[in-house]
Structure 1
Amino acid sequence: MEGDDCEFHYGDGSNDTQDNDFPTVERSRLQEMLSLLGLETYQIQKLSLQDSLQISFDSMKNWAPQVPKDLPWNFLRKLQALNAEARNTTMVLDAPPDTRPGEKEGQMEEEFLYWDTADDVAADIYSFSELPTPDTPVNPLDLLCALLLSSDSFLQQDILLKMFLCQFALPLVLPDSENHYHMFLLWALRGLVRTWWSQPLRGPGSFKEDSVILPRMPTFAFVRMDVSSNSKSQLLNAVLSPGCRPRDCFWHRDLNLGASPREIADGLVEISWFFPSGREDLDIFPEPVAFINLRGDIGSHWLQFKLLTDISSAVFILTDNISKKEYKLLLSMKESNTKYYFILSPYRGKRNTNLRFLNKLIPVLKIDYSHVLVKVSSTDSESFVRRLQSIVCCVMRSPCRRVSVEDMANAARKLGLKVDEDCEECQKAKERMEKITRKIRDPEAYKREELRLQGEPWRKVAQVEKELCRLQWAVDPPEKCRSELRGRLLELRAQQNSLDPTWGVQEFVRAISSPSPGEKQYFLRWMELGLARLSQQRLRPPPETLLSLRSKNCGVVDATEALWPDPLGVEHFLREMGQFYEAESCLVEAGKLPVGQRRFAHFPGLALELLLRGLPLELVDGGSLSVPLRWVTGLLKELHIRLDRRSRLVVLSALGVSGTGKSTLLNTMFGLRFATGKSNSPRGAFMQLVEVAEGFSQDLGCDHILVIDSGGWIGGALTTTGERFELEASLATLIMGLSNVTVVSLAETRDVPLALLHAFLRLETTGHTPSYQFVYQNLHGTSAPSPQLRDGRQCPEPLSDGDLAVTCGETQGDSVQTLADVAFGDPEKQHVWHIPSLWHGVPPMAPVSLGYSEAIFELKRCLLENIRNGLSNQNKNIQQLIELVRRL
C-alpha cells in the first residue's frame, strides 16, 4: 500500500474494553432471544452445515413461519434456495393447519378455540384469552446474529456465501453480549469470489477474478451519532444502486419488521461491495469499493467506531444533533487521518446549537463546510444521492486509504477484537496447507512431477481396462488376447505400486488423518482456498455472462475448455490416493501381493470421512474419463459400514452439456458444493451425500440421497462414431443406470447431447429407466415463460423422428425408436421444466432472481414427491449400488 494505506492509528484496545462496551442488562437479552428462537441448545454443540441440509418434512412444503422458533429454519431453508425473501421474519398466525411442518392435523385442531354463542359469556372471555396472540416481532438482524452465534464456523461460511450471492449486506463484526466480546468474521468471509471489470489507467481493461477479502480498495463507513431522521441503510442502498430503484442490500426501517426494536444486533457491523461490470450505464464507480454500516449509535459502540475510523477512506456521520456531548465524543478523534463527512437533518430549535459546535469541530477534524451535507424532508433524494456518489468518486481519485478485509482484521486485533480465524484448529490447518502449497510453483508441473500415478500412467491403465471390458461382452473373445491384456494391466499396476507417495501426498494424508474433526475440516477448506488462489493467479477466461458484456472491446475470445487445463484441486490428491489403492488392490486380487503387505487399505475410509463432511468425491475420473472401479467400490463398502442400518439410498443425477447450469441447480436445490464456472470446474463426475432426517426417512422411503453431478464431459461428441462418442455414451449410461432420478439440464430446446439419446436407448433394453426431469434453463437473461411444469408429450421434440433414427442408429424390429418413445413415453416418470434466468440483472452486481429460486424449489418438491410416491425406480441399498457399479 502506498501513502497512508498502511497508516492505521490504533487505540490501546483490550478485551476489558469489550467487557465495558455492554451494559449488564444486555447479557440477558441474548439468552432471551436464543430461547425465543429455540437456539439455546446450540450454544455448546453448535449447529453444523450438515444439520442445516437434512431433508425433512420442511423440504416438501413452502410453509410460512408461525412461531419464532420457526424463523431460523425458515431463514436457512430459503437462504439455501437463494431466495431473496429469506430475511423476512414475518410470522403468519392464522395459517391453515397443514402449513406447519410435521404437525398432525388433529393436533392442530385441538389448539384452535372457537366462539360459541350458546356458551356462558365468562367462558367465552376465558376462551378468547387463550386464543393465539401475535408473538414478539423479531428484527431480521436479531435473527441473523442469533443464528450466526449458534452456528459453527463452516455453517457461518455457508450462510455468508449464500447471502453474498443474494447481494445481501454481510456481517463483518458480530456483537456477542453474553460472552463479552465482538467477533471479526474473517474466516466466514473467506471463499467469497467475485469477477469484475478492471480498467487500468493505461492500456485495455480486462476481467479479474479474486477473493473479495484480498484486494485493497477504498472503504466508506456510514454511522449514526445519537439520532438521525434519515435512514442510513436506505441511503447506502441508494448509493450502491444505479438508476432510481435501490436494491435492498442493507435491511432498513421501511422493510418488513425493519423498524422493530433490535434486541441483540446493535453493534453489528455490515459490509457490502460495489464491483464494476464494464458497462458505463451500470458502473457508478470505476473500481471496486467497500461500504460499511454500523448498526446503533457510535456513543454506545465506540470500539466499532474506532475500528471504522482506522480502516475507512472516509466516514459519513448521520445525526440530527451536535451538542456538547457529541462534540466531546468526536474531540477524541482529532489525531485521526480519516476524512469525515456529516449528513445533518437538524431540528428547527437546535440549528444554532448544531452550528456552534460544528464550527468547533471543523478545525479538530480538519474538514470544511463542503464536508457538511444537509438532508431534510424537502431535499430531492435523487440529487442528494448523486452528490454522495460524486463525493465517493472524488475521494477515490485522491490519495486515500485502501485496505483489504485482511487489513481490517489486523486493525481489529490491535483494538482487542477477536478474529474468528485465530482459533487453534484453524491456524494449525492453515500451517499444514501452506507447507504443501508453498512448494507448488506451477500447478501443471506439480501434477506431472508430484502426482505421478495420474496423467499418462493412469490413461494407459484405463485404456487396457476398457479393452478388457469390451472382451468381457464379446461373443467368443480370444483367450490369448485376454491373457495379454491382463498381463499388461498387472505390469502397469506393479509399476504404480513400486512408487511411494510423494512428500506432498504424504502431508495431505497426514492432515486428513488428524484425530480432530475440526482441524481436518479446516484443512480441507484451506486446501480448497489455497489451490483456488493458485488457479486465480493464472490467466483464465471470464464467465460467459460477463464475457458478453465486453465483446466489442475484447474482440473475439476463444474460451473453449480445451485451452484451459483442469485446475489443480483437492480432487487431484484424492485421485492419487485412489490410484495407490487401485494398484495395490489389483495386485492383491491377482495374488501378486500378500494381504498383510497392504499399505493403503485405509485410504477409502479417510476419503469417506470427507464425503460425510460435505466434500464432493470423484465417481468418474476427470483425468482419464474412466471409473476407478476398485476405489469407488471401496468407498461404497466403507459407506455401507458407516451408515449401518441407515443405508437405503436414492440416487439422483444431473447430466447435460457444460455451461447449462446443472451444478448451480444442484447446489441451490440441496445446498451442495459442486464446483461451478467453466474455467474453474474439474472435469470428472462427482457425488455428494444428503442425509434424510430420521423422522422423515420412513415416509420418503430412503435414508440418504446420493447426488451425482456429471461434470463437463458430455456434449463434446458431434457424431455417433469415434472414441469420444463411445466414451460419452458409456459414462452417461453408467450414471443414468445408477440413478433413480435423472435431471437432464439443457440450454435450448434442440441441444440434447447425442450421447444422452444413445444412453436412453441402451437403458431401455436393460429395463432400467429412471424418472427423467428435463430442465430448460434461460441462460442469457432474455424473457422466458414463468417457471412452469409441462407435460412431456406437449414439449417440442429436440430432434425429428428421422433425425433421431440417423442419430442413434438403433431399432427394435421394424420400428425406429424416437426420443418421444424413449424419454417421453411415460408421462408419470418424467416432466419438462422451464427455469428463468439465474440473475436478476447484470453481474457482478445482480442478485439471484426470485423466479429462479422459486422454480428450483418447485423442482425439488416435485423430485421428493416422486421419490415419496414411488414414481422413481425402486430405492437401492449400498450393496445393490456396488453391484450396479460393477455391472455397468
Structure 2
Amino acid sequence: MASPGAEVELLVRGQPDLAEVAPEIKAPERPAAVAGADLGWRDMEGDDRELQYGDGADEVQDGGFPAVERSRLQELLSLLGLETHQVRKLGLQDALQISSDSVRSWAPQAPRDLPWSCLRKLQALNAEARSTTVVLDLPPDARPAEKESQMEEEVIYWDSADDLSADIYSFSELPTPDTPVHPLDLLCALLLSADAFLQQEILLRMSLCQFALPLVLPDSESHAHTLLLWALRGVVRTSWAQPPRAAGSPWEDGVVLPRAPTFAFVRMEVSSNSKSQLLNALLSPGHRQRDCFWHRDLGLGTGAREIADGLVEISWSLPSGREDLDLFPEPVAFLNLRGDIGSHWPQFRLLTEVSSAVFILTDNVGEKEYRLLSSVKGSAAKFYFILSPYRGKRNSNLRFLNRLAPALRMDHAHVLVKVSSTDGARFLRRLRCILAQVARSPCRRASVEDMAHAARRLGLRVDEDCEECQRAKGRMERITRSIRDADAFRREELRLQGELWRKAARVERELCQAQWAGDPPDKRLAELRHRLLDLRTQQNGHAPAAGLQEFIAGVSCPSLGERQYFLRWMEWGLAGAAQPRPRPPLETVLALRPRQGGAGALREHLWPEPLGVEHFLREMAQFYEAESCLVEAGKLPAGQRRFAHFPGLALELLVRGLPLELIDGSTLSTPLRWVTGLLKELHGRLGRRSRLVVLSALGVPGTGKSTLLNTMFGLRFAAGRGCGPRGAFMQLVTVAESFSQDLGCDHILVIDSGGLIGGAPATAGERFELEASLATLVMGLSNVSVVSLAETRDIPPAVVHAFLRLEKTGHTPNYQFVCQNLHGTSAPGPKPRERRPPLEPPADGGRAAAHGDKQGDGLRTLAGLAFCDPEKQHVWHIPGLWHGVPPMATVSLGYSEAVLELKRCLLENIRNGLSNPNKNIQQLIELVRRL
C-alpha cells in the first residue's frame, strides 16, 4: 500500500495502456464549495449533454455568452472610469503629466482611482503596482461585509438539471466600490483602454518591476484576442552567458527576437494546485521568493476575475553568469494561461504550437478531457500532467491517461502527483530536472515573433499588423537594410558629421572664448568668423543623402501615429543593423580613466557610440546651422532657405516624448542656432502655457542618474549597461492645467547630462575645461540641479568649477545631492533625510587641494550649501534598485519610495519658489545665448 501523498508511478508495458492500477491514494479533502460544485458533473462522463471542446467551444462561447460578456466588460470599464477611453485611447501624455497627485502619497479612494494609481506606481517601479486595495472613507459599521474571496484557478459548475435560463453569474457579482477588483482585470482594462505606445510603456515598466508580462490580451466583448508583439518590442533584458561560452560577458537584447525553450503551464477544469505559485517557486533561485505571476495569496486584491480569463502571460528565467544562482545556463521562457483550456481553446492551441513542453494541472481526467486533448495529437510539444486527484477519481484518471499516452507520446515520467503531503522542495527539484532535461534536448525553440506567426495562423490578432505600423516598418527597413558598419554609414550618409563639423565646433568654441575674454582684437574675431563662415559654406554645399531624406519623410508624415511608430522602429532597426564594437571590461576603463585628456579620443575608443536616431537629428541640425549661419552673414537670401522647417519637425518629436540633443557628445558643443530655433518653435506651440522650470541631472557615468529621472517622471533617457549616447538630452514634461497655477509653471524641461561629466581632474587640461563649460551651461539653465554622486561621494570637479562660475553671476539653482547604493543589496532602513550624509565639508580642504584653492573654496561652499538647511533635504541616499543579483533580482520597494519622496521634494521646492524664478521660453533662449 502506498503511503498517503506518494507519487503515482505508471509503468509502460507491451500494451498501449498505461500500467496496472496501483492502490488508491487518498487525496486531501476538497473545500466544501468545490466538492459540492463537483456533484453536477461527476456522473456525466461520456454524456451527450457535456460541454464540447474545440470548434464546439467556440460556438458556445460566441453563440451563448457574448451579450453577458459584453456587458461585464463595459460595466467594469465604467466602474474604473475608463469607458470614455474605448474610442479615444489613453496616451503617454495622459499618463505622465504632473498633477496635484504627484506631490502627495495617497491610497485609492474609489475604483476609478485604481488605473491612475497603477500607472503612477509602475512609473515609479513600485512592486505594489498590482495592488487594487481601495481605502474607503466610511465608518466600519457602514461598510457591507466583504464576500468570501474565491480561488485563483476556481471553476464553478452547475447541475445540468438546473434552469440555465437563470442568471448563471449570480455567484460572482460585478465589483462594487467596496468589492476588490482583481489585479489582472485592472491590467486588462488598462491595456484595452491604452494606445499602442502607452501599452509599450506599461509592459516596459512591468518588466523592470519583474512582473510577468501579458502576451495574449483577451477581449471578452469582441473575442478578438490580441498577441502583444508591438507592446513587447520595447522590453530589453540583460543577462550573462555562463562560462565557457563567453566568460561571463553581459549582453542586452529585446525579448521578442531570441529563440528560447518555452514551457507552458495551463489548467484543465479544476486544479487544487496554483499554477502561478508553482511558477513563482520555479523561478525563485535560492531562498528569495519572486512573485512574477500574481496569485491569490499576495493579498493585493482578491476579487474574482471578470475579464482576465484567457490572458496569457510570459516571463523569462535569465542567467546571471553564476552557476550557483542560475536555474538554466540560457534564457528560458514560461507561459501561463489564465482560466480553463476548454474555455480558451485558441490560446491553448497557440501554446501547443510554440512550446517545448506543456504542463497541464488538473484534478480530473475524464471522457471530455480525453477528447479535448486527443485533438492536439501530433503536436511537437511534450505533454506533462501535474495531478492532485479527487477522492475516488484516481482509477478514472489512470484509465483515461492510459488512453491518452499513445496520442501524446507520454510515459510514466510525464505524470506527476502533488497533494498536500507532497514534499514541496523535492517536487520542485524533480520539476526543474524535467525542465532542464527538455531544454538540453533537441526541442522546439520559439521567439515572440515566432509566436506571432503562429497566432496569425490560428486566427488571433497581432497588434503589430495595423497599417500605420507596417508602413513605418517598411520605411525603416529602406533606411537600415544597407547598414553593415556604423562608421561607414556615418561617412557616406551623414556627411555633415565629419571633419568639417568638428572644425566648425572648434572654431565656434574659440570664438566664444575670445568674446568672454573681454575686448578681444577685432582682427582675431574677424578671422574666426571668416573661418566659421567658410566651413558652414562647405557644409551647405552638400545635399541630404538618401537615408536622411527617407528619415525626414518619416518624421514629416501627416499621421501622428505613423510618425511615432516610425521613430520606435528606427530605434530598434538601428540597434540591430549596426551593433557597436565590443567594450573592454570595466576594470580596464577605470584603470585608464586618469590618463584621459584631449577631446576624449580614448573614451571614443573604449566606448564606441552606437548609431541612433539622435545622429539623424544631429545631421538635420547641422544643415539648419549651416544655412542659418549663411543667412545671418547675408550670404544667402532668407527666401531661399530649404531647411527652415527642420526645428518644427524636431519639436513634434520632443512634444511626443523623444529626448532631443542639447549638447552633442562627439564634439562636446552646443548647436546654438538649432537649439534657439527649437525653443522658438516651442514658444509658438505652447502659446500662453509657456512658463518653464528647468530641472537637470549631473554626475559621472554609472551613478544611476538617468534611471533616477526615468523613474521620477516616466522619461526615456538612455540608461542601463549598454553603450548609450553621450550628449546632454532634454525632454518636456507637461503639468496638468488644473495644477499649473499652484505649481507656478506649465512645463518642466528635464535635462540629462548623459556621460558628459566624466570626473576629469583639473590637470586633465582641455577635457576638464570642456566638462566645466558643459556643467556651467546645464546648471546655468536650471532652476533645480540634481547632482548624482559616485560611491566615493566626491563632487565632480567640473561641477565645483561650474558652481564657482555661476556664483559670480548670482545664479544659484536649488541643489539636491543624491548618492545611490548601486551594488549592495537593499535593506529597509531610515528615511532618506535621516541617513548619514554622503557629503562632509572637508576640514582642511586637502581633498580639493589638487584642484587649486578656488576649487577647494568652491567645494566648501557647495558642501556648505547642502547642509545649510537640513529641513530642505539637500542630501539624499537612495537604496539600490535590486534585491539580489540581476537579472533575476526582485525590485526594491525602498528605491521606489525614496525616489518618490525626492520627486515630491523637488516639486515642493518648485512650488515654494526655492529655486531661481521660473523662466519663460524667451528668457531661456537668452540664457542659452549668454551661457
Whichever residue aligns with residue 276 of structure 1, its letter is P
Say whether residues 1:680 and 2:707 are aligned partners: no
Tell me what 2:238 maps to.
Answer: 195
What is the CA deviation profile of residues 153-180 of structure 1, one whole-angstrom value per residue up to 9, with x for unaligned ones? 0000000000001110000000012223
Within the candidate set 113, 116, 134, 1:73 is matched to 116
Pairing 1:226-241 to 2, within 5 Å after superposition = 226-241=269-284
Against the structure 1 CA distance between its residues 675 and 431, is the aligned structure 2 distance closer, same or farther, given a 3 Å change threshold?
same
The TM-score, its normalising length taken from structure 2, stands at 0.86
Within the candidate set 804, 829, 833, 1:761 is matched to 804
Tell me what 1:327 maps to.
Answer: 370
Say whether residues 1:164 and 2:207 are aligned partners: yes
What CA distance in whole angstroms lies between the structure 2 residues aligned with 1:790 and 1:608? 42
Percent identity, please. 75
Against the structure 1 CA distance between its residues 690 and 792, is the aligned structure 2 distance closer, same or farther, given a 3 Å change threshold?
farther
Say whether residues 1:696 and 2:722 are aligned partners: no
Whichever residue aligns with residue 165 of structure 1, its letter is L
Tell me what 1:809 maps to.
Answer: 853
- CA apart distance, 1:24: 3.5
What CA distance in whole angstroms lies between the structure 2 residues aligned with 1:77 and 1:347? 44
Against the structure 1 CA distance between its residues 848 and 782, is the aligned structure 2 distance closer, same or farther, given a 3 Å change threshold?
closer
Moved more, 429-438 or 670-679: 670-679
The TM-score, its normalising length taken from structure 1, stands at 0.90
Within the candidate set 225, 233, 237, 1:182 is matched to 225
What CA distance in whole angstroms lies between the structure 2 residues aligned with 1:561 and 1:346? 64
Whichever residue aligns with residue 426 of structure 1, its letter is C
Against the structure 1 CA distance between its residues 201 and 511, is the aligned structure 2 distance closer, same or farther, given a 3 Å change threshold?
same
Tell me what 1:624 maps to.
Answer: 667
Whichever residue aligns with residue 561 of structure 2, its letter is G
Tell me what 1:556 maps to.
Answer: none
Within the candidate set 380, 397, 409, 2:423 is matched to 380
Tell me what 1:296 maps to.
Answer: 339
Within the candidate set 26, 38, 41, 2:81 is matched to 38
Say whether residues 1:852 and 2:881 are aligned partners: no
What CA distance in whole angstroms lies between the structure 2 residues aligned with 1:487 and 1:64? 64
Against the structure 1 CA distance between its residues 792 and 848, is the aligned structure 2 distance closer, same or farther, given a 3 Å change threshold?
closer
Within the candidate set 828, 832, 838, 1:788 is matched to 832
What is the CA deviation profile of residues 62-84 of structure 1, one whole-angstrom value per residue up to 9, with x for unaligned ones? 11011100000000000000000
Within the candidate set 45, 50, 53, 2:96 is matched to 53
What is the CA deviation profile of residues 773-793 of structure 1, one whole-angstrom value per residue up to 9, with x for unaligned ones? 000011111567544125999
- On the 8 A contact 1:801/1:819 being kept in 2, the answer is no
- CA apart distance, 1:140: 0.1
Say whether residues 1:598 and 2:647 are aligned partners: no
Tell me what 2:439 maps to.
Answer: 396
Within the candidate set 407, 412, 415, 2:450 is matched to 407
- On the 8 A contact 1:840/1:848 being kept in 2, the answer is yes
Against the structure 1 CA distance between its residues 263 and 656, is the aligned structure 2 distance closer, same or farther, given a 3 Å change threshold?
same
SS at match of 2:629: helix
Tell me what 1:28 maps to.
Answer: 71
Say whether residues 1:147 and 2:165 are aligned partners: no
Whichever residue aligns with residue 42 of structure 1, its letter is H
What is the CA deviation profile of residues 48-98 of structure 1, one whole-angstrom value per residue up to 9, with x for unaligned ones? 0111000001101111011100000000000000000000111111489xx
SS at match of 1:453: helix
Against the structure 1 CA distance between its residues 465 and 387, is the aligned structure 2 distance closer, same or farther, given a 3 Å change threshold?
same
Against the structure 1 CA distance between its residues 340 and 464, is the aligned structure 2 distance closer, same or farther, given a 3 Å change threshold?
same
What CA distance in whole angstroms lies between the structure 2 residues aligned with 1:445 and 1:360? 63
Say whether residues 1:273 and 2:316 are aligned partners: yes
Against the structure 1 CA distance between its residues 722 and 203, is the aligned structure 2 distance closer, same or farther, given a 3 Å change threshold?
closer
Tell me what 1:612 maps to.
Answer: 655
SS at match of 1:24: helix
Moved more, 688-697 or 671-680: 671-680
- On the 8 A contact 1:741/1:771 being kept in 2, the answer is yes
Against the structure 1 CA distance between its residues 560 and 373, is the aligned structure 2 distance closer, same or farther, given a 3 Å change threshold?
farther
What CA distance in whole angstroms lies between the structure 1 residues aligned with 2:225 and 2:581? 37
- On the 8 A contact 2:316/2:331 being kept in 1, the answer is yes
Pairing 1:229-378 to 2, within 5 Å after superposition = 229-256=272-299, 259-378=302-421
Whichever residue aligns with residue 482 of structure 1, its letter is L
What CA distance in whole angstroms lies between the structure 2 residues aligned with 1:234 and 1:426? 37
- CA apart distance, 1:801: 2.6
SS at match of 1:262: coil
Against the structure 1 CA distance between its residues 359 and 791, is the aligned structure 2 distance closer, same or farther, given a 3 Å change threshold?
closer
What is the CA deviation profile of residues 682-718 of structure 1, one whole-angstrom value per residue up to 9, with x for unaligned ones? 1100000000000000000000000000110112422
What is the CA deviation profile of residues 398-418 of structure 1, one whole-angstrom value per residue up to 9, with x for unaligned ones? 111111110000000000000
- On the 8 A contact 2:800/2:855 being kept in 1, the answer is no
What CA distance in whole angstroms lies between the structure 2 residues aligned with 1:161 and 1:611? 20
Within the candidate set 538, 544, 550, 1:507 is matched to 550
- CA apart distance, 1:336: 2.0
Tell me what 1:838 maps to.
Answer: 881
SS at match of 1:250: coil
What CA distance in whole angstroms lies between the structure 1 residues aligned with 2:528 and 2:308? 68
- On the 8 A contact 1:561/1:679 being kept in 2, the answer is no
- CA apart distance, 1:209: 2.2
Count of aligned pairs between the two proteins:
834
What CA distance in whole angstroms lies between the structure 2 residues aligned with 1:737 and 1:537? 34
- CA apart distance, 1:822: 5.5
Pairing 1:516-527 to 2, within 5 Å after superposition = 516-527=559-570
- CA apart distance, 1:509: 0.5
- CA apart distance, 1:447: 1.1
- CA apart distance, 1:541: 5.5
SS at match of 2:730: strand
What CA distance in whole angstroms lies between the structure 2 residues aligned with 1:725 and 1:847? 39
Against the structure 1 CA distance between its residues 283 and 824, is the aligned structure 2 distance closer, same or farther, given a 3 Å change threshold?
same
Against the structure 1 CA distance between its residues 513 and 659, is the aligned structure 2 distance closer, same or farther, given a 3 Å change threshold?
same
- On the 8 A contact 2:816/2:875 being kept in 1, the answer is yes
SS at match of 1:167: coil
What CA distance in whole angstroms lies between the structure 1 residues aligned with 2:200 and 2:64? 27
Within the candidate set 679, 693, 703, 1:636 is matched to 679
Against the structure 1 CA distance between its residues 562 and 201, is the aligned structure 2 distance closer, same or farther, given a 3 Å change threshold?
closer
Moved more, 324-333 or 736-745: 324-333
Moved more, 798-807 or 293-302: 798-807
What CA distance in whole angstroms lies between the structure 2 residues aligned with 1:337 and 1:815? 70
SS at match of 2:214: strand
Moved more, 156-165 or 205-214: 205-214
SS at match of 2:833: strand
Moved more, 670-679 or 366-375: 670-679
SS at match of 1:842: coil
SS at match of 1:267: coil
- CA apart distance, 1:804: 3.2
- On the 8 A contact 1:791/1:831 being kept in 2, the answer is no
What CA distance in whole angstroms lies between the structure 2 residues aligned with 1:479 and 1:257? 72
Moved more, 704-713 or 741-750: 741-750
What is the CA deviation profile of residues 10-31 of structure 1, one whole-angstrom value per residue up to 9, with x for unaligned ones? x999999985696432121110
Say whether residues 1:450 and 2:493 are aligned partners: yes
SS at match of 1:789: helix
- On the 8 A contact 2:826/2:882 being kept in 1, the answer is no
Tell me what 2:707 maps to.
Answer: 664
What is the CA deviation profile of residues 101-136 of structure 1, one whole-angstrom value per residue up to 9, with x for unaligned ones? xxxxxxxxxxx99xxxxxxxxxxxxxxxxxx99522
What is the CA deviation profile of residues 483-535 of structure 1, one whole-angstrom value per residue up to 9, with x for unaligned ones? 11111111001000111111111110011000000000000000011112235
